């Protein structure tokens, strides 16, 4: 008995179908992989913003009331000065293991430019004596809290008006309002014409803080997180205040 083999046309059709199925499978796997990368990058930006805000909020809640040093400088683009916030706080975690420290520290937050990156940094200087001169506390330990934060905006209420600076070092403002803005560039990694025109999402973390013993105008304090992109926003809120 003769066995019938495959014709050339059947072989070509089978090859085309196999190639098509393989192409679809590879495209699907690539799409899943890119989606996973995008989600991971977006999650990293949100986590970095949340972490930086929690550290800053904790320091604001621990401001030293008996040895007040509180100084805030607004950004000045004309001379390239970044915004900064300097204060004295109490904390129980030592900054330098096996080194003399008290529980009083000077902390400073600022935005620094490093090559093509904007770094949100925290400088902490342990106080082991009665340091009163700024030069005595100009050193310390510098920590990069986030490479995603692109803006650090703050306002301070003196009882009559909101200021974007606070130069009265020995007095606390009645209210502090801080906005941290981070760029989520995960959607810009694919440089196709469809995505290259998109703007990165901006993640925003807002911190309200008042200090006990200071009039707070009956306002609630809260920490809010807002994600904005082309006019859309989603927000969540939790109560907080200085202890």
Percent of the chain with pLDDT over 70: 69
The DSSP call for residue 69 is: -
| Residue 167 counted as domain residue | yes
| Residue 71 counted as domain residue | yes
| Residue 15 counted as domain residue | yes
Q: How many residues does the chain have?
A: 243
Q: What pLDDT does residue 199 have?
A: 67
Q: What pLDDT does residue 176 have?
A: 92
| Residue 3 counted as domain residue | no
Q: Which of 24-28, 40-44, 175-179, 217-221 shows the lowest per-residue confidence on average (mean pLDDT)?
A: 217-221
What is the domain range of residue 218? 9-239
Q: Give pLDDT tens digits for 39-69.
A: 656 677 788 888 999 999 999 999 988 878 8
**More confident of the two residues 78 and 177:** 177
| Residue 4 counted as domain residue | no
| Residue 214 counted as domain residue | yes
Q: Find the Cα–Cα–Cα–Cα dihedral 195, 196, 200, 201, rounded to 10°.
A: -20
| Residue 1 counted as domain residue | no
Helix, strand or coil, per DSSP, at residue 21: helix
| Residue 44 counted as domain residue | yes
Question: How many domains, in total, are found in the chain?
Answer: 1
Question: Going by C-beta distance under 8 Å and a sequence separation of 6 or more, which residues neighbour residue 74?
Answer: 83, 154, 164, 165
Q: What pLDDT does residue 232 have?
A: 36
């Amino acid at each position: 008995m003769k066995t019938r083999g495959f014709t050339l046309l059947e072989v070509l059709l089978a090859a085309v179908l196999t190639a098509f199925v393989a192409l679809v499978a590879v495209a699907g796997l690539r799409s899943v992989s890119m989606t996973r990368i995008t989600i991971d990058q977006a999650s990293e930006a949100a986590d970095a913003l949340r972490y930086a805000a929690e550290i800053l909020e904790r320091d604001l809640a621990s401001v030293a009331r008996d040895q007040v040093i509180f100084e805030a400088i607004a950004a000045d683009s004309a001379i390239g000065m970044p915004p900064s916030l300097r204060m004295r706080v109490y904390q129980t975690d030592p900054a330098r293991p096996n080194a003399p420290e008290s529980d009083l520290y000077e902390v400073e937050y600022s935005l620094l430019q490093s090559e093509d990156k904007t770094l949100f940094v925290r400088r902490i200087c342990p106080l082991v004596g009665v340091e009163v001169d700024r030069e005595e506390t100009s050193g310390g330990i510098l920590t990069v809290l986030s490479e995603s934060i692109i803006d650090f905006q703050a306002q301070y209420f003196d009882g009559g008006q909101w200021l974007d600076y606070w130069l009265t070092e020995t007095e606390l403002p009645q209210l502090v309002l801080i906005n941290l803005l981070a760029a989520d560039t995960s959607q810009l990694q694919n440089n196709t014409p469809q995505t290259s025109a998109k703007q990165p999402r901006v993640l925003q973390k807002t911190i309200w803080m008042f200090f006990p013993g200071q009039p707070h105008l009956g306002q609630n304090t809260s920490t809010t997180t807002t994600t904005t992109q082309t006019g859309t926003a989603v927000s969540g809120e939790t109560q907080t205040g200085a202890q």
